[in-house]
A = this chain, B = another copy of it.
Amino acid sequence: MTVQRRALLAEFVGRTDHPTVDALHADIGRAQAGLNRATVYRTLETLVELGLARRVAVHGAACRYDPCVERHHHLLCERCGAVEDVFDAALDALRLPRPASGFVARDFSVLFTGLCAGCAPRRTKAH
């Protein structure tokens, strides 16, 4: 438990915006002494291995990290790339497939795509 890990945790825990490494790096640097980007990568990776964080991979963009490890799913904005959480008990009831191929599924996650509030076309007041 080092100074830089404490700084990272302080900035990371509780966030719901699924920050990228760069976002975290910038925010930590803003708060106090700069912390090397490589260290952010290494520390986040360690957190994932320890089960204290999750990775949210997004095609063609920097990987995002999520401090929430409860079972939940994600909404990905197709326009701005924002990621939101979805907690839905109905989804948790999904049964795992047992294909003829012999694949044994152990877990799953659902990725919804669409437009976030900021990017969605307005209904009433025209944009």
Bitwise interface map of A from 101 to 120 toward B, beta carbon under 8 Å scored 1, else 0: 11111111111111111001
Contacting residues, chain B, for A63 (C-beta < 8 A): 59-60
* Chain copies in the assembled complex: 2
Q: How many residues from A make CB contacts under 8 Å with B?
A: 37
Please report the C-alpha to C-alpha distance between residue A63 and residue B60 in the assembled complex, in whole angstroms.
Answer: 9
What are 17 A-B pairs with beta-carbon distances under 8 A? A57-B58, A60-B63, A75-B97, A77-B103, A84-B103, A86-B99, A91-B94, A96-B112, A102-B117, A103-B120, A104-B120, A106-B114, A107-B113, A107-B114, A108-B111, A108-B112, A109-B111
A residues in contact (CB < 8 Å) with B = 55, 57-60, 63, 75, 77-78, 84, 86, 88, 90-91, 94-97, 99, 101-117, 120
